Amino acid sequence: MADDLELRFERTVQAEARIEPRDWMPDGYRKTLIRQIAQHAHSEIIGMQPEGNWISRAPSLRRKAILLAKVQDEAGHGLYLYSATETLGADREDLTTKLIEGRQKYSSIFNYPTLTFADVGVIGWLVDGAAICNQVPLCRTSYGPYARAMIRICKEESFHQRQGYELLMTMMRGTQQQRDMVQDSVNRWWWPALMMFGPPDAESTNTEQSMAWRIKRDTNDELRQKFVNMSVPQAEALGVTFPDPDLKWNPERGQYDFGSPDWDEFWQVVKGGGVCNQQRIAHRRKAHEDGAWVREAAAAHAAKQAVSKEGAA
């Protein structure tokens, strides 16, 4: 019987059909998905902080409205993804607890500080650009609710990336000081953006099984290469350079060659040693704890309304 179920699961996945919430699935598949989708959801929620940092100091009402809409989208993306994890039997409260206790991770990119307003533009262009590279193939991931959430998210990410690039183009048309600010920001974000694709394939422990289950569609190195190829002409059009002396076109490969990110730094930030790790989690914990009375009051109000409705009926 179990073999039957497993066979049906394998066949569904091989046929590029989707696995849906109430289907039988291997425990490992369920666990891997919960871990990956929760980590993704946490990244969206924590990702509101670096940019939220600039909402009150946006240089114009236009930029402020755009930034607000973008940060609100990140919240929405987190919610689509939490909703997907719940179809797998995860509990929302439990996921939030795991995040604020440091038992589940989020993307390390959000442990870097946003020092200038140019960072808002560079995050949109490079960080959201890298996220799009990662996420577009996930629209075809084997788990239905995850794939559907990714489709919604990808549509909205396109606005994020374009607003960032447009912001940078505007700054590049400004003063020398503004252009320097953009280049400085690119210098700081380029390597962390490349790290967003995860460790090199040879060291990526989860890749092989995830590819077999069609949760993951491309390897870390394939996506990283694709991102570099896409970004170089965009940098040229903008008038900035990437801080990599090894970056150059390789006509034989038909791709750009590029240097290796500092993986020691990557692992250090993953393990909690980044500039903002503690601040990000402390802020999330405070927001959650400060909101406790609102959640309780709303639940109490709902219970009271339900009783008085029953009485009136």
Partner 1 sequence: MSTSWPLWEVFVRGKRGLNHVHVGSLHAPDAEMALRNARDVYTRRNEGVSIWVVPAASITASSPDEKDPFFAPSGDKVYRHPTFYAIPEDVPHL
Point out which residues bind partner 1 (CB under 8 A).
Answer: 20, 22-24, 69, 72-73, 76, 79-80, 83-84, 86-87, 92-93, 145, 148-149, 156, 292, 295-296, 298-303, 305-306
Least spacing, CB of residue 298 vs partner 1, in Å: 4
DSSP line for the chain: -HHHHHHHHHHHHHTTPPB-TTS---HHHHHHHHHHHHHHHHHHHHTHHHHHTTGGG-SSHHHHHHHHHHHHHHHHHHHHHHHHHHTTT--HHHHHHHHHTTSS---GGGGS---STHHHHHIIIIIHHHHHHHHTGGGG-SBHHHHHHHHHHHHHHHHHHHHHHHHHHHHHTS-HHHHHHHHHHHHHHHHHHHHTT-S-GGG-SSHHHHHHTTS--S-HHHHHHHHHHHHHHHHHHHT---S-TT-EEETTTTEEE-----HHHHHHIIIIISSSHHHHHHHHHHHHHHTHHHHHHHHHHHHHHHHHHHHH-
211/302 with CB nearer partner 1: 302
Q: Which is nearer to partner 1, 140 or 155 (CB)?
A: 155
The smaller minimum CB distance to partner 1, of residues 253 and 309, is found at: 309
Minimum distance of partner 1 from residue 153's CB (angstroms): 12
User: Please, which residue, 84 or 181, has the CB nearer to partner 1?
Assistant: 84
Q: In whole angstroms, what is the distance from residue 43 CA to residue 261 CA? A: 21
How near is the Cβ of 247 to partner 1 at its closest, in Å?
Answer: 36
Minimum CB distance to partner 1 smaller for 10 or for 23: 23
Comparing CB distances to partner 1, the nearer of 23 and 203 is 23
Residue 82, both tokens: 């939490």
Q: In the bound complex, what is the minimum distance in angstroms from residue 312's beta carbon to partner 1?
A: 16
Question: Cα–Cα distance between 134 and 227 in angstroms, integer?
Answer: 9
In order of 83, 106, 229, the CA distances from 38 in angstroms are 10, 8, 29
- Kindly tell me which of 25 and 181 has the beta carbon lying closer to partner 1: 25
Q: How far is the CB of 223 from partner 1 (least distance, A)?
A: 26
Least CB distance from residue 79 to partner 1, whole Å? Answer: 5
Provide, rounded to whole angstroms, the least separation between the CB of residue 60 and partner 1. Answer: 22
Least separation in angstroms between CB 163 and partner 1: 14
Cβ closest to partner 1, residue 44 vs residue 119: 44
Tell me the Ramachandran region of residue 214: left when phi exceeds 0, alpha when psi lies from -120 to 50, beta otherwise. Answer: left
Give the nearest distance from C-beta 67 to partner 1 in angstroms. 15
Structure tokens at 119: 């960072």
Nearer to partner 1, 80 or 191 (CB): 80
Task: Report the alpha-carbon distance of residue 274 to residue 270 in Å, rounded.
Answer: 8
